[in-house]
Amino acid sequence: MSYGKHLAFNRDGKVGIITLDNAKEFNLVGTDFLYELEEIQKEINVDRDLGGIVINANGDNFSAGIDLKFLKGVSSQFIMNNLVWLQKLYSYWQELNIPVIAAIQGLCYGSATELILGCDFRIAADNARFSLPEVRFGLAPDMGGTTRLTHLVGIGQAKRLIMGCEEIDAQEALRIGLIEILVKPEELNERAMKLAQKMASLPPVGIRFAKKGINMANESSVGAALLFEQAQSTFCCGTDDLREGVTAFLEKRKPEFKGR
């Protein structure tokens, strides 16, 4: 299956741009959406020149979440057969070696919120609204929502949003740490691209190990995280990019990083 009906994928220099592209149906998440997302991830896997990913959306809204027509037909057997795959689609962004930025406007509900939780940075327009309403339909978030939201905003706020089915605006999302940057709607994509391009210009090895180290620190003990720092530092200090970065700085010239 190829993408193009629900999602678009383009390049701007070293930045890949994934666009939720079914605005007339609120960029709903359904079977075709998820298969298209997997196809784009396969393309990303073989592109060694990418230095960052931006996930944005066409239209007034990022996404209204899961397509309820899809949800109505889901059975326990379907979940048993497919949930690990579904979770991996959103975990992919957290595990990817390059930074992933979500640019959010309007509605960001349910599965769409779980999608952005897997990203490294969340930039929202001041008209964005967030909700995880799964409990209202008799289930709980199952694609990383209960896990990543709790890590990001803490247990109390996670329970308020998930168990209370509370909808919050962008200002509240910034206050509790659900998003990192708040901008005007007309500045959203420019701000996301500016951040992505900046990080894409940095040494790939440094970016990769910084991301992995932060993720590990969030998920493990201090001792384990410090051990990872020891290993990554030993590796990085033997790379050409480290020597190039230091030499370029001393010579007052633009560095040329090669990812090794």
User: Could you give the residue numbers annotated as active site?
Assistant: 114, 134
Distance CA(40)–CA(10), nearest Å, equals 10
Expressed in percent and rounded to 5, the helix, strand and coil fractions of the chain are: 55, 15, 30
Structure tokens at 173: 């999302």
Q: Is 25 left (phi over 0), alpha (psi -120 to 50) or beta?
A: alpha
Gap between the Cα atoms of 252 and 2, Å rounded? 46
Tokens describing residue 48: 């060694």
What is the chain's Cα-based Rg? 19
> Residue 260: CB partners within 8 Å, gap ≥ 6?
205, 239, 240, 241
CB 129 within 8 A of CB 167: yes
